[in-house]
Structure 1
Amino acid sequence: MKHFFTLFLLCFALTGYTQENLTYQKPHKNILELAEAPLAPSIRMDNKGEHIVLLYRSSYKTIEELSETELRLGGLRINPVTNIGSRTRYYTNIKLSTKKDGTPKPVTGLTPDGRYANFSWSPNQDYMTFTKTLSTGVELWLLDIKNSTAKKISEANLNANMGNPVTWFKDSEAVLVKRLPENRAALINTSEAVPTGPTISVSEAGVKAQNRTYQDLLKNKNDEHNFEQLAQSELYKITLDGKASLWKSTNMYRGISFSPDGNNVMITTINKPFSYLVPYYRFPSESVVYTSNGDLVKSILQVPLIEDLPKGFMAERTGKRDLDWRSDKPATLYWAEALDGGDPANEVPFRDEVFQQDAPFDGAITSVIKTKDRFRGITWGDDHTAIAYDMWWNTRNTRTYVFDPSNASKAPKVLFDRNYQDRYSDPGEFVYTKNDFNEYVLDLHNNTAYLIGDGYSEAGKFPFVDELNLNTTKTKRLYQSKLTDKVESISSALDAKSGEYIVSIESKNEYPNYYIRNIKKRKGLTPLTHFENPFKSIQDVKKEVISYKRADGLDLSGTLYLPTDYEAGKKYPMIMWAYPREYKDKNSAAQSTSSSNEFTYPYYGSPIYWVTRGYVVLDDAAFPIIGEGDEQPNDTFREQLVANAKAAIDAVDNLGYIDRERVAVGGHSYGAFMTANLLAHSNLFAAGIARSGAYNRTLTPFGFQSEERNYWEAPEIYNSMSPFMHADKMKTPLLLIHGEADNNSGTYPLQSERYFNALKGLGAPVRLVMLPRESHGYSAKESILHMLWEQDQWLEDHVKNKGKTKPAK
């Protein structure tokens, strides 16, 4: 009997948790051709538009790269061998072109197979620094823009574990660099270390620390030791000819910024105690100002460990925050302080106040402005003109103020007071220019500023340039795009006064390219780039933005693609891809920012590949979740989710394109959460694809996505919205895909594993694919091609051939 019972358990284990052993697969050739298309280069352009740096890379990493040594500490992912972020995306080649000659030319001194990252313009934009990662460490390189040459100016001893390790001196003749300390202690191999005692965390009575479910946190003393060693650097001054001199001794340097005149530099360091609850950027820190020679000026700010904050997305710590230099002054620091104790629940006339103080920071501290809602930044202009911004998440409101920073008694003037989700009324972003300090400031001409807007409207996207009189607050339209068969975007101003702007123009089959447009002379465009369409096989696909209504009358939209082999009158299977978004008003929720003239770009997570496999694709289908007034969006999440889905399927079905019995739904992250809910609470779909989602909201008890209430305040919301709690209702085939190394808050790999176990235990048709080494977004070529293969097989089996007998293998 004992042997029988053992055999029974073994059989149960084998049948209950059957695994399928597969090597990495590649998708159908139609998909593979698109997935392997070469990537156009990224560009870095100087502020005059004269020189363009083109950065080339593969679309993917390799699984070998992802398998390099990685430590996950304090919210960072570090390769302790090379001392750079282990998830860094590298460029492999650099070329240069000019406005006069748009032909990319190679850079002398480079090999085309490098691992380049951390590009930084010099203040005068004659040079650019970048890092090159070797198998043993990180080197510093210098790119000479005018001469098209590059050279190494340091050995492989940089510390890039906390981001770009290089900061330019303001004279553009040297850089301040984080280097590995000579005396760094050996790291502890935590998998082999023998514990010396338990790990103990303590909560004080009455002190609430309602934090997000961060990942990659420190877990014990060994992690603390390793984090400290990897965060420590020495600061060296390195001249352009490679001469290095010690500037500051070993410390955990986090931030470095020079004053506009270059005579002062603010250094922020990380202090102890560390935390097991929050990432490194909420560890204690100190900001100290030194002279450019390294002499102490003054300690400006000491920030304690931030584990407990008041409840709410608008909560802030008390004391100085957002400390930075005024870009229009030689050496003036400014910062904000909360007037409501940092607690959104406190009702006060002003939430924040901004102060300033001049170097050497022993004189008067003066107030510059108070904001009604939470301060969100300043665009500096001159002594008497600056632009400030505030926002309040709960109402989705933002204000833009113009004020006199030299006269706090003069009331600021509100330029714009609006719902930031209302894209149709967006007034645009202010135009910047470089001042004598080589800092970007507000471009002003006789108290007139300029705005660049996206120009979204019911008719489409028509970007504009406005002139704004800051005295009268009146605007005058200087330019608005009239392109109807293409999409134009205005990137930046080369010279707002003369009317020269950088624009990009694209169509559904023309890759976005950059041009100079003069909006005053109305002459032709000057091309700056000449990128070709790498996706020729789908360049003629029929594409349109369709509009339709939800059952309650709300206007919705989505981008519809027909199969490349489309035949009129034939009914096709469809895949719908979406991501839910929360709104506080129906007007904003009904707006569309999609265009049928946008370039058709099948990035790795896109469903567009399947137009080559005989599917109708509805991409970016609108899934607004609205909660007006006192009602919160999530109060009716499931009902609105299903209503959005039904409206989309009805709309495409009414066009005569699809067999509505063969419709799949898919999404990534919150889109995966959406997918699982739709399959559990509707019978609209033949199958679903859910990538890197969270399915049990009790595992994120202190809020998720846009939900401010914690689990104990709204248990019915957490339970009703959790697909895990409704696993017994699932009868529709679901493909779950998750990266084994997901670092996103809340979407632990455990979420997919436990949801799969629940579904399998209840007999639901489900497949779980865990991608080794992958994070929340996938990057290895092997992983992505296999993911595309999995999705294609799933759609073929459960959607296109739904109900058909599978051939015997």
Structure 2
Amino acid sequence: MKKIALFALIVLFSVICFSQKTSFTSRDVLNVKSFNAMDITGDGQLVAGVIRARKDRLNVDHGRYGDPNYVAPYSGELVIIDTRQNKTHKIFDNGKITGGLKWNPARSHLACLVFEDDKFNLYLHNTVNERTKRIKLKTDLDIASNSILEWTPDGKYLILSLRAENWASRGDSLFREATEGPVTVYDSKRPFLKWDEIRNHSSLSIPVKVDISSGNVFELLPEGRYSNLSLSEEGNKMVFVEYVPKKTSYDRKGGTDYGLYMIDLDEPAVIDTLQEKSGKRIIISWDDSKTKFAYSDSDHVFIRSIFERDAIKISSDTTEIVKKDSSKAKFSVMRWSPDGKYVLASSKKGYWMINIDNRDMRLVYELPEDEDKSPRLRIVDWKPDGSSWYMSYSARDKWERGLVEYVLETGQFRDLVKDSNLYSSWQMSEDGSKLFYRLSDGNRPEDFYVTDPAFENPRKLTDLNPWIENRKITRSELVSYIDADGKELYGILYYPVDYEPGKKYPLVCEIYEDFFNNGFSFSMNLITNAGYFGFKPSVNLIEGYPGEAWIKGITSGINKLIERGLVDKDKLGVHGTSYGGYATSLLITQTDRFAAAINISGKTNIISFLGDSPRIGTRNYAAAEVGQDRIGESLWDAPMKYFATSAVLFADRIKTPHLLLTGEGDWNVPALNTRELYYAMRRLGKEVVWVNYVNGGHGAGMASNEADFHDHWERMIDWYETHFNKE
């Protein structure tokens, strides 16, 4: 009896405590903070990063998207976390827009690129005296917004990227011609679409070496387009990729030539060619010394030293059997072993260790044949002695996640941590002494953690949102169901914050593609604080006929919840953003089960959409033909497939009241495409409301200012409330 009484008291106390909490509101959403670790010292003792709240992402001028001279106002607190003392301190008193943070090899100074006075400036923070000073560069050229930020191994120089003298004026001229005219000419004889031409200009820069003690600047290369910069361990050699756009490409392949080159930092005028320019994208993996690199070509693995003229093929022809089919193995480079003696490569069969000296190949990890049912495993890093891998782990049928160690010699796994928490962003310090990661209980916002590799002493390094314990936060549950084709799918169910067992509630679905992992969701917290169940159901998208997926999958998931007695079948709502908004409008042309639907920045006519987003070039064509829209063919090869996935063409079938939310400055899915459905439904006498946020972007009011953010969510909740309770 005493135990029963004690249990009752605990339950009563919990109820009282929860009842004293306040609702989670749209104002709370804007105050939720997150931490982005940008650089970690080699010993893992100091972490440099940025703390941002969601409100720090507002007030973007979307009309200047693509403007080479525009820097979005994504400010945040630049901080250093001392992992030994669990202390965090700010580098600057106020929030800053940063272009990068980088520790010097001795971890005594942190280089910071900070945007102020309409340009990026270089600062150095001294960890000894905790003072920050601006380094005045002895040049009239400005630091590029996409600048390289890399120390030389001796800590005396920084590698940066600068803009040429007339770069800003040339960029401004190109942007104004495209946006203001007064006459804008588009000519198919020109090699590039106009916005591709602007983007090509934006990528131009001049790599330089900066003496941090004097501010002297030494030009390393002429103005060009450079990527994948790497300094040798001794610091005297710099390897880089130069890419040269040739024409606008519609298939995500070709259109650009890539070459791999090397210079001596003391004599940069002499450029050694490591790989001649070609249309093949260069993807290489460096060993720790940064003097050897591995790459895949023609399904084989090659290595090369920067001091040698020729590459060496180290993989051999191998036949492998996968799912009873025999075929020639095709290899892709993954990474080098810590001692630089092996290259790890993958094939359909599994992961191979290739000895670079004798070219011996050994299959060290065989991929499971039934990947859909086997846990997801991804290599995080090597153990420093090369004997094993640390791998992130996630079960596919339940919320069991964590980190495991895979021992190469035995082929056995050792669990380091496995539980229902959500782990992400695993990163090992360079010396292998510490593992960093983000952790959430699956319902609350994540924080930043550190542990020893054995996971014996995990420690929380941030406490970003302590106030959230005083808010009503939803709890989540993984739900499995069978779609109309008999395929098992999963969705995430979010409970009303004041849930009472036995009571049926309205249900609001937030749709996109696949959902499995939970984690803090501000949208579902707003929905559940309004007194509804929230549900993120998965669908099985099939190329060629993607429009069928949502009716087959989402309705099956809803049926499962109705069968459990949780949901009022007459009070169903659905919304989505971007691709999810497109799916929402398409879904309600196929069913009248929903009492209310909301499309946020989603297209409604995939045919007109092909040319609707000029600022992102050929993305819309590629999305339909080879990308997310999954039609798989061009409009002229399969016009009926495009018709079938355009909601506006079936507007006469819509019976669900529809709210359309758009942003006037949306460069991704322009408001005018969503607008087409408004005019169609209005012409047909359907209930429809279109709200266009003049200052909004992709995400409508959520991508605008603070007032619009609140208005956006007030309208959404009001739309559901009105149509769930028409009586």
Q: Establish whether residue 478 from structure 1 lines up as the match of residue 414 from structure 2.
A: yes
In the other structure, the counterpart of 1:79 is 69
> Which residue, 501, 504, 507 being the options, matches 2:441?
507
Report the Cα offset of residue 423 of structure 1. Answer: 6.8
Larger mean Cα displacement after TM superposition, 235-244 or 608-617 = 235-244
> Which residue, 762, 769, 773 being the options, matches 2:691?
769
State how far apart, in whole Å, the 1-side matches of 2:506 and 2:684 are. 28
State how far apart, in whole Å, the 2-side matches of 1:496 and 1:178 are. 29
> Which residue, 164, 176, 192 being the options, matches 2:159?
176
8 A Cα contact 2:49 2:101, kept in partner: no
State how far apart, in whole Å, the 2-side matches of 1:115 and 1:468 are. 43
Report the Cα offset of residue 33 of structure 1. Answer: 3.6
Report the Cα offset of residue 685 of structure 1. Answer: 0.7
8 A Cα contact 1:232 1:250, kept in partner: no
Are the structure 2 counterparts of residues 378 and 364 from structure 1 closer, same or farther at C-alpha, using a change threshold of 3 Å?
Answer: same
TM-score (norm 2): 0.81
The aligned amino acid for 1:358 is S
State how far apart, in whole Å, the 2-side matches of 1:272 and 1:635 are. 31
8 A Cα contact 1:139 1:157, kept in partner: no
> Which residue, 531, 537, 557 being the options, matches 1:614?
531
Secondary structure of the structure 2 residue equivalent to 1:265: strand
State how far apart, in whole Å, the 1-side matches of 2:362 and 2:303 are. 16
Q: Establish whether residue 90 from structure 1 lines up as the match of residue 75 from structure 2.
A: yes
Report the Cα offset of residue 516 of structure 1. Answer: 4.3
Q: Establish whether residue 718 from structure 1 lines up as the match of residue 642 from structure 2.
A: yes
8 A Cα contact 1:326 1:380, kept in partner: yes
Report the Cα offset of residue 140 of structure 1. Answer: 1.5
8 A Cα contact 1:508 1:539, kept in partner: no
Unmatched segments (≥5 aa) in structure 2: 1-21, 318-327, 611-620
Deviation sequence 1:500-551 (CA, Å, 0-9, x none):
644554325655344444575x855444333444433544544332333335
> Which residue, 328, 349, 367 being the options, matches 2:313?
367
Report the Cα offset of residue 291 of structure 1. Answer: 0.6
Q: Establish whether residue 167 from structure 1 lines up as the match of residue 150 from structure 2.
A: yes
Secondary structure of the structure 2 residue equivalent to 1:776: coil
Q: Establish whether residue 32 from structure 1 lines up as the match of residue 32 from structure 2.
A: no
Report the Cα offset of residue 251 of structure 1. Answer: 0.9
Within 5 Å, which residues of 2 pair with 1:232-381?
232-248=204-220, 250-255=222-227, 256-271=229-244, 273=246, 275=248, 282-293=255-266, 294-303=268-277, 319=280, 321-324=281-284, 326-337=286-297, 339=298, 352-361=299-308, 363-369=309-315, 376-381=332-337
Report the Cα offset of residue 577 of structure 1. Answer: 1.0
In the other structure, the counterpart of 1:760 is 682
Within 5 Å, which residues of 2 pair with 1:196-595?
199-202=186-189, 218-219=193-194, 224=197, 230-248=202-220, 250-255=222-227, 256-271=229-244, 273=246, 275=248, 282-293=255-266, 294-303=268-277, 319=280, 321-324=281-284, 326-337=286-297, 339=298, 352-361=299-308, 363-369=309-315, 376-381=332-337, 382-389=339-346, 399-408=350-359, 410-411=360-361, 413=363, 415-418=365-368, 422=372, 424-432=374-382, 443-445=384-386, 448-469=387-408, 474-481=410-417, 483=419, 486-487=421-422, 491-493=426-428, 501-502=435-436, 504-508=438-442, 511-518=445-452, 523-536=456-469, 538-539=471-472, 541-581=474-514, 593-594=516-517
Report the Cα offset of residue 123 of structure 1. Answer: 4.4
Are the structure 2 counterparts of residues 71 and 678 from structure 1 closer, same or farther at C-alpha, using a change threshold of 3 Å?
Answer: closer
In the other structure, the counterpart of 2:134 is 152
State how far apart, in whole Å, the 2-side matches of 1:460 and 1:714 are. 41
Are the structure 2 counterparts of residues 465 and 414 from structure 1 closer, same or farther at C-alpha, using a change threshold of 3 Å?
Answer: closer
The aligned amino acid for 1:200 is D
In the other structure, the counterpart of 1:60 is 55
Deviation sequence 1:472-498 (CA, Å, 0-9, x none):
xx32333243545x5556834459988
State how far apart, in whole Å, the 2-side matches of 1:557 and 1:425 are. 15
Are the structure 2 counterparts of residues 58 and 468 from structure 1 closer, same or farther at C-alpha, using a change threshold of 3 Å?
Answer: same
State how far apart, in whole Å, the 1-side matches of 2:330 and 2:466 are. 44
> Which residue, 787, 791, 794 being the options, matches 2:712?
787
Within 5 Å, which residues of 2 pair with 1:722-741?
722-741=646-665
Are the structure 2 counterparts of residues 623 and 279 from structure 1 closer, same or farther at C-alpha, using a change threshold of 3 Å?
Answer: closer
Report the Cα offset of residue 793 of structure 1. Answer: 2.5
Report the Cα offset of residue 575 of structure 1. Answer: 0.5
8 A Cα contact 2:57 2:73, kept in partner: no
State how far apart, in whole Å, the 2-side matches of 1:539 and 1:62 are. 24
The aligned amino acid for 1:366 is I
State how far apart, in whole Å, the 2-side matches of 1:684 and 1:31 are. 28
Aligned residues: 667
> Which residue, 120, 123, 128 being the options, matches 2:102?
120
In the other structure, the counterpart of 2:3 is none
The aligned amino acid for 2:68 is I
Report the Cα offset of residue 563 of structure 1. Answer: 2.2
8 A Cα contact 1:690 1:737, kept in partner: yes
State how far apart, in whole Å, the 2-side matches of 1:118 and 1:762 are. 53
Secondary structure of the structure 1 residue equivalent to 2:560: helix
Larger mean Cα displacement after TM superposition, 274-283 or 660-669 = 274-283
Report the Cα offset of residue 244 of structure 1. Answer: 1.9
The aligned amino acid for 1:697 is I
Unmatched segments (≥5 aa) in structure 1: 1-27, 81-85, 205-216, 305-316, 340-351, 391-396, 434-442, 582-591, 626-632, 805-809
Deviation sequence 1:331-359 (CA, Å, 0-9, x none):
2344433x3xxxxxxxxxxxx23333323
In the other structure, the counterpart of 1:657 is 566
Secondary structure of the structure 1 residue equivalent to 2:367: strand
Are the structure 2 counterparts of residues 179 and 137 from structure 1 closer, same or farther at C-alpha, using a change threshold of 3 Å?
Answer: same
In the other structure, the counterpart of 1:105 is 89
The aligned amino acid for 1:380 is W
Are the structure 2 counterparts of residues 158 and 639 from structure 1 closer, same or farther at C-alpha, using a change threshold of 3 Å?
Answer: same
8 A Cα contact 2:402 2:419, kept in partner: no
8 A Cα contact 1:61 1:779, kept in partner: no
State how far apart, in whole Å, the 1-side matches of 2:676 and 2:366 are. 48
Are the structure 2 counterparts of residues 487 and 426 from structure 1 closer, same or farther at C-alpha, using a change threshold of 3 Å?
Answer: closer
In the other structure, the counterpart of 1:312 is none
State how far apart, in whole Å, the 1-side matches of 2:285 and 2:491 are. 43
Report the Cα offset of residue 272 of structure 1. Answer: 6.2
State how far apart, in whole Å, the 1-side matches of 2:373 and 2:214 are. 49
Give the aligned CA root-mean-square deviation in angstroms: 3.7
